[in-house]
Amino acid sequence: MPKLPAPLRLRFRSRMWQGALNGESLWVGLAAVSLTRRLVKKLNSRESQIVYSEELLPGQSLVISNAAPPDGGS
């Protein structure tokens, strides 16, 4: 489905939220679908997070492990 031009999207979104806040069932339903779609899209995003960064010198190595610490702590 092609996207609407930006001015039409803005007008539609504005009308949708105005109608939803006024309790019009059609707009409440569309707002719920819109929010659910955005939430699912956000939860499914695969954004990576850098937790450690350092340059390795020649002869150095990096070991990545998912083992529990020896003391059994977190």
Number of domains, the chain: 1
DSSP string, 24-40: -HHHHHHHHHHHHHHHH
Q: Is residue 37 part of a domain?
A: yes
Higher pLDDT, 60 or 67: 60
Contacts of 1 (CB under 8 A, 6+ apart): none
What pLDDT, in 10s, does the model give residues 29-41?
Answer: 888 998 899 899 8
Residue 61's Cβ-count burial label (10 Å; 0-12, 13-18, 19+) is exposed
Query: How far, in Å, CA of 65 to CA of 74, rounded?
Result: 14
Q: Is residue 36 part of a domain?
A: yes
Average pLDDT of the residues in 3-25: 85
**Is the per-residue pLDDT at 47 higher than 60?**
yes
Domain residue limits at 35: 6-43
pLDDT at residue 36, as a whole number: 93
Query: How far, in Å, CA of 44 to CA of 34, rounded?
Result: 15
- Mean pLDDT of all residues in the chain? 83
